[in-house]
């Protein structure tokens, strides 16, 4: 009954090899235009940090802020890519019914007091010893040195008031003081993509591209050749803002109802925060539902993973969320739709990697490892395969030289490295 319309909707998520090549070329073009100071959809934010030597050592506090959980870790860098975790504290940023520090109802002071209290827990209330803190802050921030990152705009539907336009480490310092301790000194702020790249480069040289494919999506790379006398450093592309993409009706609906209409176009087509919602808009249309249902990227994962003959997991999910029982051909079409959304996501992400590779290696691409952290890359079925297929379609024979590697926990190690490198 619904299979045909769902199948038609799935086709709107199709990308041909030519489409992919065009995305890759446009990404490269925008990077190079930005380096020449021409306006593009990429923010191309300077990080004021280069690559680690691998020899960094010492004890540091690492703060990871930007996903669903806040994490503070005390760790010791041992050099040669090695490190040891001493203490780890993780807290959700929102707890239904109790608190929500990332909604517009919360203030900067409330949020940063919560962060400061979590830091206090990680140092077990020790207010005497000196700690240097590296901060992975996973939002677009402009900076003129490694310390003074100023939040340009929230993304991923974060909305806490009073943070945009502020130097986040100043807010943190003020909160630490309010909590009554000043022995913790925030000294470096980096984006999570930069953290992932630092973490990977600590262990192996010649690593130049780091990416996050999770709730949000973004990529950074090491730029060694600025047009002016800027010294080599990592650039946070904020590729989630890339706008040279054909959007379909469902992308448009999601965008209109988001916190930042017209912005983060690419991120809204690929990242974990949005693909479940995109699926919801499609189902609303395909199943002619009166209201917008709620689905997450985890639902998409479960739908794609349902290998049962009767597609019982999908049937159950639709029964529970929509009170609908569908015929097997309709369930099949629902599964194909979920797969189409995920496949488009993975193929777009891989296409942007090709644009970056072409920019870094304009003559011939050498053997190269792109490091990626994030649950969508790690856990979403078909993502890895689709990314490799996309690389193959764009780079043809050269794609064999590219590996995509999971860099788990890079945000923490990277924050500690940033602190070590800037101390």
Residue 78 dihedral angles phi and psi, to the nearest 5°: -105, -5
Least CB distance from residue 155 to ligand BGC, whole Å? 3
Asked if residues 136 and 191 have their Cβ atoms less than 8 Å apart, the reply is yes
Nearer to ligand BGC, 238 or 255 (CB): 238
- Starting at the earlier edge strand, list the strands of the sheet with 217-223: 45-46, 233-236, 217-223, 209-213, 368-373, 402-406
Residue 382 dihedral angles phi and psi, to the nearest 5°: 75, -10
Nearer to ligand BGC, 317 or 417 (CB): 417
Asked if residues 3 and 203 have their Cβ atoms less than 8 Å apart, the reply is no
Q: Which are the contacts of 343, defined by CB distance < 8 A and separation ≥ 6?
A: 13, 382, 386
Least CB distance from residue 137 to ligand BGC, whole Å? 8
Helices assigned H by DSSP within 204-326: 249-256, 265-270, 272-286, 297-305, 312-322
Least CB distance from residue 309 to ligand BGC, whole Å? 38
Nearer to ligand BGC, 156 or 398 (CB): 156
Q: Which are the contacts of 257, defined by CB distance < 8 A and separation ≥ 6?
A: none
Least CB distance from residue 125 to ligand BGC, whole Å? 30
Least CB distance from residue 246 to ligand BGC, whole Å? 21
Nearer to ligand BGC, 214 or 303 (CB): 214
Binding site for ligand BGC (CB under 6 A): 66, 138-140, 155-156, 191-193, 212, 216-218, 238, 240, 267
Least CB distance from residue 59 to ligand BGC, whole Å? 26
Partners of 321 in beta bridges: none
Nearer to ligand BGC, 9 or 273 (CB): 273
Least CB distance from residue 261 to ligand BGC, whole Å? 15
Nearer to ligand BGC, 201 or 339 (CB): 201
**Distance (Å, whole) CA 408 – CA 196:** 8
Q: How many CB atoms lie within 10 A of CB 113?
A: 18
Asked if residues 188 and 49 have their Cβ atoms less than 8 Å apart, the reply is yes
DSSP string, 303-349: HHH---TT-HHHHHHHHHHH-----HHHHHHHHHHHHHHHHHHHHHH
**Distance (Å, whole) CA 397 – CA 389:** 12
Nearer to ligand BGC, 66 or 134 (CB): 66
Q: State the angle between helix axes of 328-360 and 383-395 in degrees (0 to 180), rounded to the nearest 10.
A: 50
Nearer to ligand BGC, 193 or 301 (CB): 193
Nearer to ligand BGC, 236 or 399 (CB): 236
**Distance (Å, whole) CA 216 – CA 395:** 26
Q: Which residue is nearest to ligand BGC (CB)?
A: 216
Nearer to ligand BGC, 150 or 217 (CB): 217
Least CB distance from residue 240 to ligand BGC, whole Å? 5
Distance of CA 263 to the CA centre of its chain: 15
H or E element: which one contains 351? helix 328-360
Least CB distance from residue 271 to ligand BGC, whole Å? 7
Least CB distance from residue 214 to ligand BGC, whole Å? 6
């Amino acid at each position: 009954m619904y299979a045909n319309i769902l199948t038609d909707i799935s086709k709107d998520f199709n990308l041909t090899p030519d489409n992919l090549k065009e995305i890759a070329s446009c990404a490269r073009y925008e990077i190079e235009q930005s380096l020449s100071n021409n306006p593009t959809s990429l923010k191309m934010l300077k990080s004021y940090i280069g690559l680690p030597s691998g020899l960094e050592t010492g004890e540091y506090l690492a703060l990871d802020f930007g996903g669903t959980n806040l994490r503070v870790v005390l760790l010791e860098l041992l050099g040669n890519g090695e490190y040891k975790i001493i203490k780890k504290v993780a807290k959700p940023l929102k707890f239904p019914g109790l608190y929500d520090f990332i909604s517009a109802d919360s203030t900067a002071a409330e949020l940063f007091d919560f962060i400061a209290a979590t830091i206090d827990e990680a140092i077990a209330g020790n207010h005497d010893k000196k700690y240097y803190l590296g901060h992975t802050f996973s939002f677009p921030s402009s900076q003129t040195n490694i310390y003074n990152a100023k939040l340009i705009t929230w993304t991923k539907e974060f909305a806490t008031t009073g943070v945009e336009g502020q130097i986040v480490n100043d807010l943190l310092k003020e909160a630490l003081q309010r909590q009554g301790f000043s022995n913790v000194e925030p000294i470096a702020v980096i984006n999570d993509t930069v953290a992932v790249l630092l973490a990977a480069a600590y262990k192996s040289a010649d690593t130049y591209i780091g990416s996050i494919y999770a709730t949000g999506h973004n990529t950074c790379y090491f730029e060694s050749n600025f047009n002016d006398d800027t010294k080599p450093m990592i650039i946070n592309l904020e590729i989630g803002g890339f706008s040279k993409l054909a959007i379909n009706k469902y992308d448009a609906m999601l965008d209109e109802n988001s916190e930042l209409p017209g912005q983060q176009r690419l991120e809204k087509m690929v990242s974990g925060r949005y693909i479940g919602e995109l699926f919801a808009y499609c189902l609303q249309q395909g199943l002619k539902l009166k209201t917008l249902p709620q689905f997450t990227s985890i639902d998409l994962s479960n739908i794609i993973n349902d290998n049962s003959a009767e597609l019982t997991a999908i049937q159950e999910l639709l029964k529970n969320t929509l009170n609908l029982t569908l015929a097997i051909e309709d369930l099949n079409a629902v599964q194909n739709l979920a797969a189409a959304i995920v496949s488009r996501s993975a193929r777009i992400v891989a296409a942007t990697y090709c644009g970056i590779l072409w920019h870094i290696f304009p003559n011939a691409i050498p053997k190269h490892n792109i490091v990626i952290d994030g649950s969508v890359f790690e856990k979403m079925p078909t993502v890895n395969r689709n990314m490799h297929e996309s690389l193959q379609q764009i780079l043809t024979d050269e794609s064999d030289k590219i590996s995509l590697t999971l860099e788990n926990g890079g945000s923490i190690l990277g924050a500690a490295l940033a602190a070590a490198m800037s101390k």
